[in-house]
Structures are given as structure tokens and as C-alpha cells.
Amino acid sequence: METVKAVILDLFGAGTETSATTIEWAMSELLRNPTTMKKAQSEVRELLKEAHKNTEAAPTCSSSSPKTVPRACRIFNYDIAEGMTVLINVWAIGRDPKYWEDPEEFKPERFMNSGIDFKGNDFEFLPFGSGRRMCAGVSLGLANTALALASLLYHFDWKLLDGLKSDEIDMSESSGLATRRKTPLLLYAVPRKTNIGIHGLGSAS
Ligand code: HEM
């Protein structure tokens, strides 16, 4: 029972904050980049015009879980002793100008027609980690975030609180299991007038 409880706790811990954080950052970036928001909304709305249901879109994210080194080794000029805990800073790798053009810019287009893999084969982009201990829930995580994000973009237009401009959105980060927003993202959700119901969305704010 202890093991079963631990596994369930692990799945909730690893599966909820990561997905929620991905969606919150994606919305923050889209609100900061109204042209990209329009593009994403028209794409989702065009795709779902016929289907009347939500399917797939695209996410981002985080860090790597701590790894314990099984035997002493040397990486670059660092001696790593057996049993040491090592953290790989995939946040920094994902923003390294050696690998990325305008690394700080939100440019989802950079992934279009690009062969870059996000499931652990290309080490410059590791949103789900890599190797034996990479994310066990990658497929669920992708479907989950894509469905929620597509629903938000399909059914609503999004407005910032009165007086706030898109370049004034606070993008400060806090630390935690996943890098969450420091302040909540507060938005007005304006329902789109369609004759289609809202799938899987409880509250609109
Ligand atoms: C967008 C959503 C998600 C992101 C960005 C994400 C990201 C990650 C990352 C970066 C790791 C560490 C991998 C490594 O150290 O190499 C991880 C581990 C893990 N994730 Fe996810 N994850 C997501 C969703 C989920 C979901 C939905 C589940 C399950 C319901 C899940 C279950 C796990 C588990 C069990 C591990 C530990 C694997 C191990 O240590 O062997 N994740 N995830």
C-alpha cells in the first residue's frame, strides 16, 4: 500500500503542476504577443471549425530531476564523486545563444519545419528530460496541455485587466518543482459567440 500511495502521489505531483504551469506560461506569452495569439487562435478555430471538438496544439517547460551518480566520473573539468546528486540546468540550456537564435524571444514559429525533437533526443531542448528517467507522462502531458490550451484559444478572446499593456505583463518566475509565475495571470475571458458548447471547461476565468 505504501508503494501504491507513493506512486499515485508521484503521478499527481509530477503531472499537475507541470501541466498547469505550461498552460499558464503559454497564455502569458500569447498575451504578450498579440500577433502570435491571433495566429494561434485562427489556426485552432480553423482546424476545429468542422470538428466542433478540441484536439491538439503545442506546449513548453522546466528542469531535470536530480540524478545520483552511480560511479565517479569527470565531466569537462569537473570531478563528480560517486553518489553525488547532480542537477542539469535545462532551463539554461534552452536559453543558450550558442544553440538558439533570440533565445529570450517567444517565437513558436522556430519549431515549424524544424526537425528538433522534444522527447529527449536533442539535448538543446529537454522539456520532458531525457534517458531512462525522462518524464513518464509525456504523452498525457502533451495531450492534456494541448487540449486545455486549444479550448482556451478556441472559445474565448482574452483581454488584460484595464489599463495594462501587453508588454507590461509581469513575467517574474518563482521557484518550485516547476518554474511557476510569481504573480497570478489575471485576464478577462470574453466568450466567443458560436453555437458550440464549451467542452471540458468549468469556470472561464
Ligand atoms: C507539460 C507537462 C509535463 C512536463 C513539462 C513534464 C516534465 C517532466 C520532467 C522535465 C521530468 C524530469 C525528467 C528528467 O529528469 O530527465 C519529469 C519526470 C516525470 N514526470 Fe513529467 N512532465 C509533464 C507531465 C507529466 C504527467 C501528466 C505525468 C503523469 C501523470 C508525469 C509524470 C512524471 C513522472 C512519474 C516523472 C518521474 C520519472 C522518473 O523519475 O523516472 N509528467 N516530467
Pairing of strands 85-86, 67-68: antiparallel
- Between residues 128 and 201, the one the model is more confident about: 128
pLDDT score recorded for residue 60: 38
In angstroms, the Cα distances linking 194 to 45, 52, 125 are 11, 10, 38
- Between residues 56 and 13, the one the model is more confident about: 13
133 lines ligand 1 (CB under 6 A): yes
Per-residue pLDDT, averaged over 2-9, amounts to 94
pLDDT score recorded for residue 62: 45
Per-residue pLDDT, averaged over 138-156, amounts to 95
In this structure, which residue's CA is closest to atom 11 in ligand 1?
135
In this structure, which residue's CA is closest to atom 16 in ligand 1?
129
pLDDT score recorded for residue 91: 86
Is the pLDDT at 86 greater than 60, yes or no? yes
pTM of this prediction?
A: 0.83
pLDDT score recorded for residue 4: 96
94 lines ligand 1 (CB under 6 A): no
Q: Which CATH number fits domain 11-191: 1.10.630.10, 3.30.10.20, 3.40.50.300, 2.60.40.10?
A: 1.10.630.10
Per-residue pLDDT, averaged over 63-91, amounts to 87
Amino acid at 187: L
151 lines ligand 1 (CB under 6 A): no
Domain map (residue ranges) of the chain: 11-191
Per-residue pLDDT, averaged over 86-101, amounts to 90
73 labelled binding-site residue: no
141 lines ligand 1 (CB under 6 A): yes
